[in-house]
Structure 1
Amino acid sequence: MSIKDGIIAELKHETNNTKRVLNNLNQDHWTWKPHEKSMSVGELASHIVELHSWVAGAADKDVFDFHVDYKPMGNYSLDELKTMLDENLQKNIDFVNSKDEAFWLQDWTLKAGDHVISQLPRIGAVRYIITNHLIHHRGQLTVYMRMLDLPLPGIYGPSADEK
Structure 2
Amino acid sequence: MELIQSLLKEMEQEAQTTRKMLSIIPEDKFNWQPHPKSMSIIRLATHIAELPTWVSMVLTTEELDFATAPYDPKVINNVEELLAYFEASLADGKAHLEKAKLSQFDEKWTLRNGDDIYDVSPKGEVIRMAYCQIVHHRAQLGVFLRLLDVAIPGSYGPSADEEFKVAVVDTPTV
Range with greater deviation from structure 2 (40-49 or 63-72) = 63-72
What is the 5 A alignment of 1:114-125? 114-125=115-126
Higher CA-based Rg? 2
* CA apart distance, 1:143: 0.4
Structure 2 SS opposite 1:160? coil
Residue 139 of structure 2: aligned partner: 139
Matches within 5 A, 1:56-75: 56-75=56-75
If the length of structure 1 is used for normalisation, what is the TM-score?
A: 0.91
Distance in 1 (CA, whole Å) between partners of 2:58 and 2:70 is: 9
Distance in 1, matches of 2:59 and 2:102, equals 14
Which one has a larger percent helix, Structure 1 or Structure 2? Answer: 1
Equivalent position SS for 1:119: strand
- Percent identity over the alignment is 31
Unaligned runs of 5+ in 2: 164-174
2:109 is matched by which residue type in structure 1? W
Q: What are the ranges of 5 or more consecutive residues in structure 1 without an aligned counterpart? A: none
State the partner residue of 2:82: 81
Deviation at 1:88, TM superposition (A): 1.3
1:51 aligns with 2:51: yes
2:33 is matched with which residue?
Answer: 33
> How far does the alpha carbon of each residue in 1:121-147 deviate from its partner, in whole angstroms, 9 at most, with x for none?
11100112x122222211111001100
Cα RMSD (Å): 1.6
> TM-score normalised to the size of structure 2?
0.86
Q: Between Structure 1 and Structure 2, how many residues are aligned? A: 162
Of the structure 1 ranges 118-127 and 47-56, higher mean CA displacement relative to structure 2 is found in 47-56
SS at match of 2:131: helix
Shift of 1:70: 4.3
C-alpha displacement at 1:69, in angstroms? 2.9
* CA spacing shift, 1:23–1:154, aligned 2, 3 Å: same
Task: Specify the SS of the correspondent of 1:109.
Answer: strand
Whether the aligned pair in 1 keeps the contact of 2:59 and 2:100 (CA below 8 Å) is no
